[in-house]
Amino acid sequence: MSSGNDCRPQTFTKPALSEKEAAELVDRVFGLKVSWLRPLPSYDDQNFHVRVSGSSKGAECADEYVLKITNSEDSREPDLIRVQTQAMMFLSAEGFPSATPYLTKDGSIMSLESGDTGNKKHMVRLLTYLPGTPVAKIATNAQILYEIGKLAASLDKVLAEKFHHPSVKSLHRGQFIWNLANVPLLEQYIDALGQNKYRAVVEQVIEQFKGKVIPKLSSFRACINHGDLNDHNILVDSSSASLENPQYRVSGILDFSDMSYGYYVFEVAIAIMYMMIESSDPLGVGGHVLAGFESVVPLTAEERGALFLLVSGRFAQSLVIAAHTALLYPENKEYLMITAKSGWKHLMTMFEMGQEAVEKKWFETAQAYTHRAPA
């Protein structure tokens, strides 16, 4: 349910390069000598944290990178990977803490390379390494939740207003399972839940989503979504020495592989859901994230009215797809289901409280910010 556990219900070949092969790849494709590397967690791609020693391209070389080797299925969509990478470069130029690619020896932002198995091909990129601590590893407070909401809105707004690229149409991913508009597609994977109270709630989410959200999509304001601002994809560092009340700033935005055309309200719903996962006060999270988001992009009444079901829909997506993929790959079940326990608890609590009570809590918290600065 976070980046380490979300996975696409598709047939793919995950790359399986050894550390030696990865180091040779960095040398051959990018012309950099590796001093050390270590694997980074990823489900369907293969990532390495790489430190290099000097560069044939001169002094502009950074010390540390992430070598990203994309799975064979996604590597068949070069336009999509290209536009995601260009978006990262654009955001970095706009002042967002986003990684940028180190160019290959022939000046490209990525390279299609032969894989380690059969005739599989994998897209390879070398991205700048971003320092910081994942939000999942800190005790979140109102201040950082507000900043994350503000970040989500600012990112979508600048992409919608200023990002142009010849391949941007590839972000219209009609059947992409992680686009929030596609919650009804979960019906084809729901058998993975068996017959229990959890399945009943997910079926309720899907039916309400079809009846109350889908008909209103045309009234929502469209934009490009990052689509996965979860607690592992946002890095922070502390901007204060106070241990009792630390002040955080976002130091990195990771993983643009779920980018797609969507709506502003999708991004804030996704951020709320993921910030709830490890929180000691999960139902209190939404108001702070919403306040930060609305400081940049205020939601319309119709968008606000869909927020409860959109957050619930993202919970359903993560829980159903994790269960489905655990059946396909039982050896990874423990890894896939690591956050499912808290996820189910939060979703069940939301439905037990009901939409009106949950929204009241969120909206009252957000309203309080109009009378004061964020904590």
Instruction: Judge contact between 123 and 114, C-beta under 8 A.
Output: no
Residue 277: how many CB atoms within 10 A of its CB? 21
Dist. CA 364–CA 373, nearest whole Å = 15
Beta carbons within 8 Å of 177's beta carbon, 6+ residues apart: 8, 9, 185, 186, 317, 321
Dist. CA 279–CA 264, nearest whole Å = 24
Instruction: Judge contact between 141 and 245, C-beta under 8 A.
Output: yes
Instruction: Judge contact between 304 and 294, C-beta under 8 A.
Output: no
- State phi, psi for 225 to the nearest 5 degrees: -100, 140
Instruction: Judge contact between 220 and 305, C-beta under 8 A.
Output: no
The catalytic residue positions are 228
Dist. CA 48–CA 114, nearest whole Å = 18
Dist. CA 330–CA 301, nearest whole Å = 43
Say how far residue 319 (Cα) sits from the centre of its chain: 15
Residue 78: how many CB atoms within 10 A of its CB? 15
Closest CA to 319 of 179, 201, 233, 181: 201
Instruction: Judge contact between 173 and 179, C-beta under 8 A.
Output: yes
Dist. CA 146–CA 143, nearest whole Å = 5
Dist. CA 39–CA 14, nearest whole Å = 14
Beta carbons within 8 Å of 313's beta carbon, 6+ residues apart: 180, 183, 205, 209, 213, 269
Report the SS3 class of residue 148.
helix
Amino acid in the structure at residue 53: S
Instruction: Judge contact between 14 and 120, C-beta under 8 A.
Output: no
